[in-house]
Amino acid sequence: MFLSAFYSLAFQIHGLIGPTGVLPADDYLARVARAVPGVARFWYAPTLLWLGASNGALTTLWVMGGVASVLLLVNVWPRASLVVAFLAFLSFIAAAQEFSSYQSDGMLLEAGFLSLFFAPPGRRPGLGPASPPSRASLFLLRWECFRIYFESGVVKLASGDPSWRDMTAMDHYYENGPLPTWLGWYVQHWGHAFHAATALATLVIELGLVWAFFLPRRLRIPCCLMVTALQVGIIATANYAFLNYIVLSLGVLLLDDAFLRDVVRRLRGADAMPPVVTSPETPPPTWKLAAVAVPLIWVFYATCADFLLSGAPEPIAGLAWPAHALGPLRIANRYGLFAVMTPGRYEIEFQGTTDGVTWTAYPFRYKPQSLDVPPGIYAPYQPRFEWNLWFASLGGCRDNRWVQRAESRLLDGDPGVLGLFAKNPFASAPPVAVRTVVSQYWFTDLETKRSTGRWWRRDEIGAYCGAVTRKTRP
């Protein structure tokens, strides 16, 4: 998951937060330094980019994280690799502003932090009884997985969205989500009965079934298989970056060695697996126990307090201070996915002109745009710029000033920002103005798809942020 995050940053980080990007990290950190006195600013924005936020520094950041991810993947210094990957990703998240407001980022940071205590020590550690994982970290990783499901179920009912109560929440889910897939296009046409069943199943799983995470293995293992099927279905029909892959990976921890050995034995034969030889564990020194217990207890308390004390009156709400203290690190998060379903799909398009009359669209890499291009499957890759445009389309320009900044950067022909698009339609001559317009999109029906080859239909609504010229740029 870390590797997928850093791989996607390699193509985006300069355009997102580079010195001439949409939201430069150096400008943001300068504002933080003015607003937060002394060393407190380093906790408010815990990032290595305080040392410098040039394009070279940003490249170093994602390369450092990518190398650490590869080392972690091949089991070389797993704990040290986790530290480096965690710090590199946190450094981006802490300075990325609107481009780091996703729950998936918190999921990855929380799982990465807890895995520091779960991973075995050493340069090339072996597996098995010689290096058992920490039981406390195993519990907290399962606890994170449980909270992702359960809190998502709670917010669906607490939000008051009637679509979750009348089982219509999934009727247009596939076409209105941030970045659908072509498989989602087909599933969208399966009819209300199927969508009502999946809405009900989602609530049953999130609010009821996931309690089996903490029950004996005869209940926990079937639960793992069911939530795995749910995540595979979501991954196939929607692109939520690495979010569902994290949840899918955490679900593996519901299994145990006995189950996996039995699977391998059935596949390879009864004699394929040697017997397990266990030896009594040597108790670790007291200082090591404390070094593990203090942060893990803090995280556990913070996650409980943040959820249970939300909205509580003072002074009871003050008991949640451990959660607030950990806030900048994003390792004790509150989750809640799809509390309110989006009623329509709106797409913001950037357009430029060289004569003030003819407007040409900047083509996106992943977002729906051309009506005859099928929605792709590319998760866990995360196109943060395009993802943010989906959220921006649900509000107005005044609430998303970064869209105007992107217009201005396109007017300058900034290579980093242009790299966020599929190509530069003004390679021969720069535009004299750039504007954004918003349109509503729908999936076509099966008959239209067969006759025209179009996956989408759309109606242009009008201007989003309006036109920006060199004289009127923000």
Q: Within the chain, how many helices (H) and strands (E) appear?
A: 21, 4
Residue tagged 């593990």 (tokens): 292
Which of 82, 167, 150, 152 shows the shortest CA–CA distance to 116? 82
The pLDDT, as a whole number, for residue 203 is 96
Burial class (CB in 10 A: 0-12, 13-18, 19+), 182: middle
pLDDT-above-70 percentage for the chain = 95
What span, in angstroms and rounded, lies between the C-alpha atoms of 226 and 215?
Answer: 15
> pLDDT category, 279, cuts 50, 70, 90?
low
What span, in angstroms and rounded, lies between the C-alpha atoms of 110 and 101?
Answer: 15
- Higher pLDDT among residues 25 and 321, named by residue: 25
On the question of pLDDT at 245 being above 90, the answer is yes
Q: Which residues contact 414 (CB under 8 A, 6 or more apart)?
A: 15, 20, 21
163-199 confidence digits (pLDDT tens): 999 999 999 999 999 999 999 999 999 999 999 999 9
What span, in angstroms and rounded, lies between the C-alpha atoms of 56 and 64?
Answer: 12
The pLDDT, as a whole number, for residue 323 is 87
> pTM for the complete prediction?
0.93
| Joined tokens for residue 93 | 């998240």
What interhelical angle do 286-308 and 103-118 show, nearest 10?
A: 160
Amino acid at 309: L
The pLDDT, as a whole number, for residue 267 is 84
On the question of pLDDT at 277 being above 70, the answer is no
On the question of pLDDT at 7 being above 90, the answer is yes
Q: Using the 8-state DSSP alphabet, how is residue 468 labeled? A: E
| Joined tokens for residue 142 | 């399962």
The pLDDT, as a whole number, for residue 310 is 76
On whether the CB atoms of residues 417 and 333 are closer than 8 A, the answer is no
What span, in angstroms and rounded, lies between the C-alpha atoms of 350 and 344?
Answer: 20
Q: What angle do CA 32, 33, 35 make, to 5 degrees?
A: 60
Which of 235, 238, 239 shows the shortest CA–CA distance to 172? 238
On the question of pLDDT at 290 being above 70, the answer is yes
48-78 confidence digits (pLDDT tens): 999 999 999 999 999 999 999 999 999 999 9
Amino acid at 212: A
Average pLDDT, rounded, for the chain:
92
- The span from the first CA to the last CA of the chain, in angstroms, equals 37
- Sheet (strand 433-443) strand order: 360-361, 345-353, 433-443, 456-469
CA atoms within 13 A on the CB side of 399: 8
Burial class (CB in 10 A: 0-12, 13-18, 19+), 130: exposed
The pLDDT, as a whole number, for residue 38 is 92
The pLDDT, as a whole number, for residue 309 is 81
Q: Which residues contact 33 (CB under 8 A, 6 or more apart)?
A: 41
Q: Using the 8-state DSSP alphabet, how is residue 161 labeled? A: -
CA distances from 111 to 252, 382, 422 (A): 13, 18, 33
